[in-house]
Structure 1
Amino acid sequence: MKTALTFIIVFGVIVIIHEFGHFFFAKRAGILVREFAIGMGPKIYGHQGKDGTTYTLRLLPIGGYVRMAGMGEDETELAPGMPISLVQNDEGKITKINTSKKVQLPNGIPMELVEFDLEDQLTISGYVNGDESHLETYQVLHDATIIEQDGTEVRIAPRDVQFQSAKLWERMLTNFAGPMNNFILAIILFIVFTFIQGGTAVLDTNGIGRVVENGAAAQAGLKENDKILQVDGEKINSWEELTTIITKNPEKKLNFEIQRGQETFEKTVVPEAEKEGDQTVGKLGIYAPMDDSFSAIITGGFTMTLDNSLAIFKALGSLIVHPDINKLGGPVAMFQMSSQAAEQGVTTVILLMAVLSINLGIFNLLPIPALDGGKLVLNIIEGVRGKPLSQEKEGILTLIGFGLLMVLMVLVTWNDIQRFFF
């Protein structure tokens, strides 16, 4: 239960923050966000806000999504011959269109739909009360709503509030905002992580921070604030130099030259042997000094975000040069990592969430149709050409990209299942 809850929180937060980026900048650009959903699958609860967006809670607590008017994933199923009902205002204009069998409108006008234009002309036509001898046409209000077949009520999407009606730079910012929010979330989480751990490690020093009780350093008499001047005659100026020597010498006697205050003396230290993967490495049981200043904590959050981003780009490069599905992980791998993080405590969960947030941000910026990066590429092509690709071509590219992603997701998930359960 703890693992499942951790997985839901970690995955849910990073996806919802991602989608909120799209939502916020779409609103700023005048694009109608028809639905902001928390979770996936069947709707549990829905409420339409005054801003025109319907906020829904859905059954499966994994992530969420936004439906922007005019985007490929925004479809309302209306078809000739469909039985619907209409609600009029006092002026005779349509304020609500009901396509759902789950919802009954007491004052609704029953109609068999013949044709409609809810983008430009804002009209809807059909046979009222089964009278096929007369075709009735009604004017639809700009802010009218439509009740979809699952009972979700959303605004219709006239042309002027659709995604393509916004300026190019506004659409580019809306597409980029999701990954951008993931990077911002990672920075905030890394700042919190840095604060919890007491600051950032100072690595350009030979000073000792906390000493682990009963560790090799403690047994040799080393103390916090000591400075390690030399190890076996080799000068030590940084933690990288110290770590390199210690790691290579498990269970070997090393001669340390130590400075404590104004006193300088020598100590024999034997690093403990510890397994790391297939290797045995030396450990002293000491930590680097910590800088707990406000500026260090803030800077640490940015630095950790940058370091992790570079590591992910390096891993992507390795994946391209040497393709291997074992280098990828899907929801099953995320669940496994959530399990390990839950066992290690809140700090590890925060660290995991930050790393996964960066992963999601970078992954979505890949120039693949159906991802935010692919949409940005189409925006750039539009800027160069002076006009967008046709909706048919863009739809085909998006469909191809989506298909490839689904195939990859199935392969990765199946590979994860085999790795972790067989």
Structure 2
Amino acid sequence: MGDFIGGVGSSLHTIIFFVIAISVLVSVHEYGHFWVARRCGVKVEVFSIGFGREIFGWTDRLGTRWRISMLPLGGYVRFFGDADATSALPDGTIAMTEAERKVSFAGQSVGKRAAIAAAGPIANFLLAIVLFYGLIVALGQPFTPPVVDKVSPGSAAEAAGLLPGDRILAVDGSSVERFEDLIMVIRLNQGTPVRLSVARAGEQLEIGATPTITEIDNGQGGKQKIGLLGVSSSGVEFKEHGVVDSLWYAVREVGSVVNVTATAVGQMIAGSRGTEELGGPLRIADMSGRVAKVGIDSFILLIAALSVNLALFNLLPVPMLDGGHLLFYAFEAIRGRPLGDRTQEFGFRVGLAMVLTLMVFATWNDLVQLRVVDFISRLFT
């Protein structure tokens, strides 16, 4: 009975923090669309956190219905004239007066529509910057000097000739300011040779090394392939920065997350990294619960990273996503008129199929990585 109650408590903990994370990310994303739309003169009919039936809500003085809905797995903003909650083109059979068209989304210039579409991802980037900035100001930035303390026997580092006391200056021409930068680059490596710039006894050397590919437990019942050099450092500390400098370092952290995500996705597309690492809502939920138990600062870091990933995902040039809208608006700006209704409808259908396929694939990965598939199969064997 104690194990059962503990399991229920753990599941409830995971659900609560998953809902918090998703609600924050979606609220900020949709508020970005909302804020820019209002300033472009567009009437916003609904701002919803969650889908489905409204639990409670209120209407503001400008006529926007703010609502909390039953299914807390997303949200949307509906502009005046939209046919649905996905901001698709309005039904051309619906007549509008000139006054109504001026406050509709479709009645805006292509530049304003593009600004509204881009505002959601931009809001997520800004959220990540704010969260990183707050943590750096409050706690400092993890900083370990990029100096080799130990070299593991039989490792790639030993084969390359790295020695204790070596200071890593750069990897493939990209400067290394802290040991954490080196770890991030090497972990993403999938067995590709790298060029290390090393300071040793007052001299600068160029050393070639090929990281070893190793499988590690990803903490969620699955495995993850990472590159290992075989060096370690010591003296981990949190380096404090000034209020102004912290903003720069926060922006750099966002840039690092973008680089890591883009590199990993590129490796998946190229086939050098397995797609089993692609996670969906179940793994995000599991991660939210696990990270929240570590500490509130770790949970904030997770939200910041997820916010960047949400922005990047929405900027993909896929119809149904913000990036797809921006692609259509780019064609419209070049042609001087929108794409035909059939072309847009076909694009949205293809985009919907792509997004749903990705969601199903990611959810299947979640079920496999979280051992749900193994559990179900054991019930029938």
TM-score, L = length of structure 1: 0.63
Cα distance change of structure 1 residues 34 and 119 upon mapping to structure 2, 3 Å threshold? farther
- More helix as a share of residues: 2
> How many Å apart are 1:200 and its aligned residue?
5.6
Q: 2:249 is matched with which residue?
A: 300
Structure 2 CA distance for aligned equivalents of residues 234 and 47 of structure 1: 63
Measured in 1, the distance between the counterparts of 2:134 and 2:288 equals 19
Give the Cα separation in 1 of the matches to 2:104 and 2:134: 38
Q: Deviations over 1:356-405 (max 9, x none)?
A: 00000001000001000000000000001100123343122112211221
Q: Which moved more, 1:63-72 or 1:373-382?
A: 63-72
Unaligned runs of 5+ in 2: 1-11, 87-92, 151-161, 171-175, 184-199, 201-214, 218-224, 375-381
Structure 1 partner of 2:80? 69
Give deviations 1:49-79, integer Å, cap 9, x for gaps. 221211111112233210112335259xxxx
Determine the C-alpha separation between the residues in 2 that align with 1:287 and 1:295. 23
Over the aligned positions, Cα root-mean-square deviation in angstroms equals 3.4
Select which of 287, 291, 295 maps to 1:337: 287
- Structure 1 residues 295-304 or 339-348, which shifts more? 295-304
Distance 1:173 1:26 in 2: 8
In 2 relative to 1, CA 241–15 (structure 1 residues): closer, same or farther, beyond 3 Å?
A: closer
State whether residues 278 and 365 of structure 2, in contact with CA within 8 Å, keep that contact through their aligned partners in structure 1: no
Match of 2:115 in 1: 173
Cα distance in 1 for partners of 2:121, 2:179 equals 35
Q: How does 1:7-406 map to 2 (within 5 A)?
A: 7-74=18-85, 119-120=95-96, 158-199=100-141, 201=143, 203=145, 234-236=165-167, 285-288=234-237, 290-322=239-271, 324-406=274-356
- Distance in 2 between the 1:328 and 1:235 partners? 36
Contact 1:72–1:395 (8 Å) recurs in 2: no
CA separation of 1:359 and 1:13: change in aligned 2, threshold 3 A: same
State the TM-score, normalized to the length of structure 2: 0.69
- Cα-to-partner distance string for 1:106-146 (whole Å, 9 max, x where unaligned): xxxxxxxxxxx863369xxxxxxxxxxxxxxxxxxx7xxxx
Count of aligned pairs between the two proteins: 298
> C-alpha deviations, 1:215-271, integer Å up to 9, x for none?
x9xxxxxxxxxxxxxx96755476969969xx9xxxxxxxxx9xxxxxxxxxxxxxx
Note the alpha carbon deviations across 1:8-66, whole angstroms, 9 max, x for none: 11111011100011111111111221100122221112322221211111112233210
Distance 2:257 2:122 in 1: 15
- Classify 1:285/1:32 alpha carbon distance in 2 versus 1 (closer, same or farther; 3 Å): same
* CA separation of 1:120 and 1:349: change in aligned 2, threshold 3 A: same
Letter in 1 for 2:247: I
3-state DSSP of counterpart to 2:55:
strand
Q: Provide the C-alpha distance between the structure 2 equivalents of 1:375 and 1:16, rounded to a whole number of angstroms.
A: 20
Partner AA of 1:3 in structure 2: T
Partner-residue secondary structure (3-state), 1:163? coil
Task: Look up the match of 1:149.
Answer: none
Describe the SS at the equivalent of 2:236.
coil
Q: Deviations over 1:163-190 (max 9, x none)?
A: 1211111111000000000000000111
Structure 1 residues 324 and 163, CA, compared in 2 at 3 Å: closer, same or farther?
farther
> Residues 236 and 394 (structure 1 numbering): CA distance in 2 closer, same or farther, change over 3 Å?
closer
- Separation in 2, partners of 1:8, 1:167: 36
Report the CA distance between 1:417 and its aligned residue.
Answer: 1.0
Deviation at 1:285, TM superposition (A): 4.8
Q: CA deviation at 1:306?
A: 0.7
Specify whether residues 29 and 284 from structure 1 end up closer, same or farther in structure 2 by C-alpha distance, changes over 3 A only. Answer: closer
Does the aligned pair in 1 maintain the 2:49–2:69 contact within 8 Å?
yes
Q: Structure 1 314/71 Cα, relative in aligned 2: closer, same or farther at 3 Å?
A: farther
Q: What letter corresponds to residue 53 of structure 1 in structure 2?
A: T
Please say if residues 183 and 358 of structure 1, whose CA atoms lie closer than 8 Å, have aligned partners that are also in contact.
yes
Instruction: State the Cα deviation string for residues 76-116 of structure 1 (Å, max 9, x = none).
Output: xxxxxxxxxxxxxxxxxxxxxxxxxxxxxxxxxxxxxxxxx
Q: Confirm or deny: 8 A CA contact 1:48 1:54 kept in the other structure.
A: yes
**Runs of at least 5 residues in structure 1 that lack an aligned partner in the other structure:** 76-116, 123-141, 143-157, 209-215, 217-230, 248-256, 258-274
Deviation at 1:407, TM superposition (A): 2.1
Q: Aligned partner of 2:335: which letter? A: R
How far, CA to CA, are the matches of 1:47 and 1:328 in structure 2?
Answer: 38
Does the Cα contact within 8 Å between 2:148 and 2:233 map onto a contact in 1?
no
| Aligned residues of 1:200 and 1:292 also touching (Cα < 8 A) | no
Is the Cα contact below 8 Å between 2:148 and 2:232 reproduced in 1?
no
Would the aligned equivalents of 2:145 and 2:178 in 1 still touch at CA under 8 Å?
no
AA partner of residue 65 (structure 2): T
